[in-house]
């Protein structure tokens, strides 16, 4: 009887030690450096953990593999995740399990056509360029936001935005419309109205100026010249308008013939 009691005591102590060590391991720092984890498709946890270990970004792959099994994490959700140096294994697994992504920065400027725009954006978020282009070229989509196919590109204001890698075409467009509405507040709309133009027309003029020069200190002057011509009903005679009409933005020199 004493042997059984002794055995149970030893077993209980051993169990407590194992549990304590495991708890210590999952709460201890796992990442040895700031690490982006970019999953372009659903991945196998073990494969990803082994890759991180081979790159010396985590101290061990054994603990996260075991903890992932314990928490029934069988597949990793695609997306962009960022883990700071010292992030624990428990935080790491919980983040991947919930699919709680880190926002990425999406930047675009000098967008000439909707095709060009779709290509630029598709290089930064999950949807491919054809999927994004097909959605943006849908007339009903442009109309739902108060635009038509010709001026829809003007809704997408050049800037840097934070969003998730897995953002869908629908979510992306809705976000861009929200940014457009935020920019074109009542004060700016009133200024445009005083000049005799709509926000869409101002956006078109801005695109012409942007194509004319990449020097920010010159843009106000060029815009003033074009506004003056429009007031006096003089043709703009702007190279960008001809490039757009021809569909060849690589033209360097345009001559009157």
- Specify the pLDDT at position 13: 62
Q: Mean pLDDT, to the nearest integer, of 96-125?
A: 92
Q: Mean pLDDT, to the nearest integer, of 225-242?
A: 57
What DSSP string describes 82-106?
EE-TT-BHHHHHHHHHHT-PPPEEE
For residues 122 and 181, membership in a common domain is answered with yes
Q: Each residue of 33-75: pLDDT tens digit?
A: 999 999 988 889 999 999 999 999 999 999 999 999 999 999 9
Q: Where are the beta strands (DSSP E) in the chain?
A: 35-39, 79-83, 104-108, 159-163
- Specify the pLDDT at position 229: 63
115: left (phi over 0), alpha (psi -120 to 50) or beta: alpha
Domain count for the chain: 2
| Residue 11, CA distances (Å) to 22, 70, 108, 177 in order | 16, 22, 62, 64
Q: Is there a domain that residue 254 lies in?
A: no
For residues 117 and 196, membership in a common domain is answered with yes
Question: Cα(163)–Cα(171) distance, rounded to whole angstroms?
Answer: 10
Structural domain range at position 146: 105-246
Q: Each residue of 68-91: pLDDT tens digit?
A: 999 999 999 999 999 999 999 999
Q: Mean pLDDT, to the nearest integer, of 19-31?
A: 70
Contact (Cβ atoms closer than 8 angstroms) between residue 61 and residue 49: yes
For residues 28 and 139, membership in a common domain is answered with no
Question: Cα(129)–Cα(156) distance, rounded to whole angstroms?
Answer: 16
What's the whole-number average pLDDT of the chain? 82
Question: Which single residue is written with the structure tokens 């978020």?
Answer: 125
For residues 179 and 161, membership in a common domain is answered with yes
For residues 145 and 236, membership in a common domain is answered with yes
Rg (CA), the chain: 28
Q: Quick one: pLDDT band at residue 24, thresholds 50, 70, 90?
A: low
Last residue of a domain, one of 36, 67, 98: 98
What is the maximum alpha-carbon separation in the chain?
A: 111
Q: Is residue 22 packed enough to be buried (19+ CB in 10 Å), middle (13-18) or exposed (0-12)?
A: middle
Q: Mean pLDDT, to the nearest integer, of 131-143?
A: 96
3-state secondary structure 155-184: HCCCEEEEECCCCCHHHHHHHHHHHHHHHC
Max mean pLDDT among 15-19, 38-42, 178-182 falls in: 178-182
DSSP at 151: T
Contact (Cβ atoms closer than 8 angstroms) between residue 67 and residue 100: no
Last residue of a domain, one of 66, 81, 98: 98
| Residue 102, CA distances (Å) to 78, 108, 168, 174 in order | 12, 20, 16, 20
Last residue of a domain, one of 98, 114, 130: 98
pTM attached to this predicted model: 0.77
For residues 67 and 177, membership in a common domain is answered with no
- Specify the pLDDT at position 163: 97
């Amino acid at each position: 009887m004493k042997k059984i009691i002794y055995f149970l005591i030893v077993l209980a102590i051993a169990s407590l030690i194992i549990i304590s060590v495991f708890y210590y391991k999952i709460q201890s720092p796992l990442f040895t450096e700031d690490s982006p984890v970019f999953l372009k498709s659903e991945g196998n946890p073990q494969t990803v953990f082994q890759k991180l270990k081979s790159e010396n970004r985590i101290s061990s792959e054994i603990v996260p593999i075991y903890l992932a099994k314990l928490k029934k994490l069988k597949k990793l959700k695609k997306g962009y995740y960022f883990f700071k140096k010292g992030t624990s294994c428990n935080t790491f697994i919980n983040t991947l399990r919930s699919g709680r992504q880190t926002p990425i920065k999406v930047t675009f400027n000098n967008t000439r056509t909707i095709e060009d725009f779709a290509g630029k954006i598709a290089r930064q978020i999950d949807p491919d360029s054809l999927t994004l282009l097909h959605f943006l070229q849908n007339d009903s989509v442009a109309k739902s936001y108060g635009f038509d196919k010709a001026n829809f590109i003007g809704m997408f204001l050049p800037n840097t935005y934070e969003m998730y890698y897995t953002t869908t075409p629908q979510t992306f467009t809705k976000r861009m419309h929200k940014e457009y509405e935020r920019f074109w507040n009542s004060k700016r709309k009133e200024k445009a109205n005083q000049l005799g133009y709509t926000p869409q027309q101002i956006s078109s003029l801005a695109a012409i100026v942007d194509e004319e020069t990449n020097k920010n200190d010159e843009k106000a002057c060029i815009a003033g010249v074009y506004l003056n011509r429009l007031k006096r009903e003089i043709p703009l005679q702007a190279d960008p308008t001809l490039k757009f009409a021809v569909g060849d933005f690589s033209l360097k020199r345009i001559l009157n013939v």
